[in-house]
Amino acid sequence: MPMLEAKNATMQFGGLIAVNELNIEINEGEIVAIIGPNGAGKTTAFNMITGVYTPTIGSILFNGKCLNKMKPNKIAELGIARTFQNIRLFKNLTVLENVLIANHLRLKSGLFSSVLHLPNAQKEEKEMLEYSLSILECTGLLEHKDDIASSLPYGLQRRLEIARALATKPKLLLLDEPAAGMNPKESEDLTEFIRQIRNQFDLTILLIEHHMQLVMGISERIYVLEYGTTIAHGTPTEIQNNKAVIKAYLGEEE
């Protein structure tokens, strides 16, 4: 059974069909990319998976469980985390505080225990701190733990957003244009970083990306969208040689 499955998932806004009958399967442990020109429906697909939108038609399944009409926080609790095309950090908080906040998703002690500093709450808070520090160490951010998030270089802010997502202990990580705005060296480092966290955290990764060198270098399979419709699916080599994909990106000579 696939970890993630979209079955004829369609998202319609009035008369506009943003995604049309999306059918994808993501297996455990894979790195899979969704690519396509601007306006192809890629982020809309992410929003359906994470509960921002409920498909107008069709369904999204995660480990066999239907996500339709489920709230984003409940989907996150199941084990799906995401990053955003536009970085959404708590910019005035420290690097460590950003990761600590994400840990609260897994807290079991209630407000009463926390306010009174009961032993179970204190134990959880200690474990949460230790886990957050271990995430920062694994992602190369430990030396920046006390830095304000907005003071980090752009590439490290991107890495922090991924670290914060990892703090929720996901099974499936969705990366929305993680290389956006990066220079070639940063993109190269990111490629290796994604491979590292996939192996280290036993992740399945689905990403949207325009940076073709990163996509072709890291993806095991690729789905290509155009105007909300899937026009191709295959390995990087198959996608590079697909005439419909070439036409979508480069146009067709008269």
Tens of pLDDT, residue by residue over 76-96, are 999 999 998 888 899 999 999
Which residue range is the domain that position 110 belongs to? Answer: 94-167
End-to-end CA distance of the chain, in Å?
45
> Do residue 175 and residue 153 come from a single domain?
no
Looking at 160-169, 208-217, 240-249, which range is the least confident one? Answer: 240-249
> Do residue 39 and residue 1 come from a single domain?
yes
The β-bridge partners of 35 are 224
User: H-helix or E-strand containing 31?
Assistant: strand 31-35
Domain C-terminal end among 167, 189, 204: 167
Residue environment code for 120-131, b if the CB has 16+ CB neighbours within 10 A, otherwise e:
ebeebbeebeeb
> Do residue 182 and residue 215 come from a single domain?
yes
pLDDT above 90 coverage of the chain, percent: 72
Q: Is residue 89 part of a domain?
A: no
Domain with residue 248: its CATH number is: 3.40.50.300
Q: Is residue 131 part of a domain?
A: yes
Query: Rounded to the nearest 5°, which phi and psi values hold at 227?
Result: 50, 40
> Do residue 109 and residue 156 come from a single domain?
yes
> Do residue 37 and residue 155 come from a single domain?
no
Total number of domains in the chain: 2
pLDDT above 60: residue 60: yes
> Do residue 156 and residue 178 come from a single domain?
no
Sign of CA dihedral 181, 185, 186, 190: positive
Domain C-terminal end among 167, 197, 215: 167
Q: Is residue 86 part of a domain?
A: no
> Do residue 174 and residue 158 come from a single domain?
no
pTM of the model: 0.88
Q: Which of 216, 210, 217 has the alpha carbon at shortest distance from 242? A: 216
Q: Is residue 243 part of a domain?
A: yes
Q: Is residue 87 part of a domain?
A: no
Q: Is residue 192 part of a domain?
A: yes
> Do residue 75 and residue 3 come from a single domain?
yes
From CA 133, how far away is CA 129, in angstroms rounded?
Answer: 6
The model's pLDDT over 102-153, given as tens digits with 9 standing for 90+, comes to 887 555 554 444 444 556 667 778 888 999 999 999 999 999 999 999 999 9
> Do residue 177 and residue 163 come from a single domain?
no
The β-bridge partners of 94 are 148
Residue of higher predicted confidence among 208 and 249 = 208
> Do residue 187 and residue 249 come from a single domain?
yes
> Do residue 161 and residue 178 come from a single domain?
no
From CA 74, how far away is CA 80, in angstroms rounded?
Answer: 9
Instruction: Indicate the pairing of strand 65-66 with strand 80-82.
Output: unpaired
Domain C-terminal end among 114, 139, 167: 167
Q: Is residue 84 part of a domain?
A: no
Q: Is residue 149 part of a domain?
A: yes
* 165, 102 Cβ separation under 8 angstroms: yes
> Do residue 16 and residue 44 come from a single domain?
yes
What rounded mean pLDDT belongs to the chain? 89
